[in-house]
């Protein structure tokens, strides 16, 4: 079977979850940059909901990050990132769902887009969007801090899982905002977890192959199509 192909754009939070998991499992893959065709037929043929990532593996194509990383964890050799224990697996899926529903939307879709993505394109930040999101970001960081405050290395305890790789890219991108810089030191257990995750060989390798951070050009359209309004 040929190596899998990850379709997406380089700065995408969800694309980076998939790339981190493949890298950690030592699975060789190709990255196919869709930046110039986002929203166009070539992209929509892969993902009818106009999002990334998509994974191609031989004649099989799959989208939605949680489905993709579960497939990767089962289809390829390498360290398992899904616990055998039924409760630990339940807890992992709880965290994955929480990233999709609470962490990514407020940290990335609200704050990081307003603080980094739009200004890089010459579009002013909407302070109302940031103000609405910040109490929800603080709530999320408090929840993570409590979960990580029992002396364990990873979210589920001693076992690194898909949950950690789900949380990492959102919390990395948020760290680049002024809000992240101010808030993170208030959460010491979370900060220790971040340092541990940032120093994993997979994270370092993944960061080293990413191109220089460039403005996300197709995001100019997001200001019209799906910017939160308050
Ligand atoms: N539910 C999707 C969410 C994926 C998603 O929102 N991806 C963002 C990038 S991080 C995207 O495709 N944005 C493109 C756009 O909004 O035009 C998943 O889990 O894969």
Which helix (H) or strand (E) element contains residue 189? helix 188-198
Question: Considering its fold, how many domains does the chain have in total?
Answer: 2
**Per-residue pLDDT at 1:** 74
Contact 110, 129 (CB under 8 A): yes
Q: Indicate which CATH number applies to the domain containing 51.
A: 3.40.30.10
> pLDDT (tens digit, 9 = 90+) per residue, 84-100?
999 999 999 999 999 99
> Are residues 159 and 49 part of one domain?
no
- The mean pLDDT value of the chain amounts to 97
> Does the structure show a pLDDT above 90 at 206?
yes
Share of the chain above pLDDT 70, in %: 100
Check pocket membership of 13 for ligand 1, CB cut-off 6 A.
Answer: yes
- Give this prediction's pTM: 0.98
Q: Whose CA is nearest to atom 11 of ligand 1?
A: 51
Asked if residue 32 belongs to a domain, the reply is yes
* Radius of gyration of the chain measured on its C-alpha atoms: 17
> Does the structure show a pLDDT above 80 at 167?
yes
- Cβ atoms within 10 Å of 100's Cβ, excluding its own: 16
Span 171-195, average pLDDT: 98
> Does the structure show a pLDDT above 90 at 226?
no
Span 62-76, average pLDDT: 98
Span 30-53, average pLDDT: 98
Q: How would residue 201 be classed by pLDDT, with cut points 50, 70 and 90?
A: very high
> Are residues 59 and 91 part of one domain?
no
Residue 53's domain comprises 5-75
- Cβ atoms within 10 Å of 103's Cβ, excluding its own: 23
Question: Which atom in ligand 1 lies closest to the alpha carbon of residue 47?
Answer: 12
Distance 199 CA to ligand 1 centre (A): 26
> Are residues 199 and 179 part of one domain?
yes
> Are residues 165 and 66 part of one domain?
no
> Are residues 208 and 138 part of one domain?
yes
Question: Which atom in ligand 1 lies closest to the alpha carbon of residue 38?
Answer: 17
> Are residues 110 and 36 part of one domain?
no
Which helix (H) or strand (E) element contains residue 96? helix 86-98
Distance 1 CA to ligand 1 centre (A): 27
Q: How would residue 176 be classed by pLDDT, with cut points 50, 70 and 90?
A: very high
Asked if residue 33 belongs to a domain, the reply is yes
Q: How would residue 115 be classed by pLDDT, with cut points 50, 70 and 90?
A: very high
Out of 28, 55, 75, pick the residue that ends a domain. 75
Share of the chain above pLDDT 90, in %: 97
Span 195-219, average pLDDT: 96
Distance 5 CA to ligand 1 centre (A): 17
Asked if residue 230 belongs to a domain, the reply is no
Distance 165 CA to ligand 1 centre (A): 16
Span 196-207, average pLDDT: 98
> Are residues 62 and 11 part of one domain?
yes
Asked if residue 132 belongs to a domain, the reply is yes
Contact 18, 44 (CB under 8 A): no
Check pocket membership of 219 for ligand 1, CB cut-off 6 A.
Answer: no
Out of 75, 107, 132, pick the residue that ends a domain. 75
Check pocket membership of 52 for ligand 1, CB cut-off 6 A.
Answer: yes
> Are residues 92 and 65 part of one domain?
no
Cα 197 to chain center, whole Å? 13
> Are residues 44 and 90 part of one domain?
no
Check pocket membership of 51 for ligand 1, CB cut-off 6 A.
Answer: yes
Distance 34 CA to ligand 1 centre (A): 12
Asked if residue 175 belongs to a domain, the reply is yes
């Amino acid at each position: 079977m040929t190596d899998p192909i990850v379709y997406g754009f380089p700065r995408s939070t969800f694309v980076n979850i998939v790339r981190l998991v493949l890298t950690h499992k030592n699975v060789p893959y190709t990255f196919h940059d869709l930046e110039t065709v986002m929203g166009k037929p070539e992209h929509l043929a892969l993902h009818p909901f106009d999002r990334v990532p998509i994974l191609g593996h031989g004649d099989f194509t799959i989208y939605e990050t949680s489905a993709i990383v579960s497939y990767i964890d089962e289809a390829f050799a390498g360290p398992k990132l899904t616990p055998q224990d039924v409760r630990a697996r339940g807890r992992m899926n709880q965290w994955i769902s929480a990233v999709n529903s609470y962490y990514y939307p407020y940290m990335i879709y609200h704050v990081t887009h307003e603080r980094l993505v739009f200004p890089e394109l010459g579009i002013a930040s909407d302070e109302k969007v940031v103000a609405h999101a910040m109490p929800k970001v603080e709530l999320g960081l408090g929840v993570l801090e409590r979960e990580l405050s029992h002396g364990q290395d990873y979210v589920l305890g001693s076992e690194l899982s898909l949950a950690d790789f789900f949380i990492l890219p959102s919390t990395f991108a948020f760290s680049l905002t002024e809000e992240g810089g101010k808030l993170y030191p208030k959460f010491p257990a979370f900060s220790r977890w971040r340092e541990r995750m940032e120093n994993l060989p997979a994270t370092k390798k993944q960061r080293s192959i990413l191109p220089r951070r460039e403005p996300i050009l197709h995001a100019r359209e997001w200001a019209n199509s799906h910017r939160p309004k308050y």
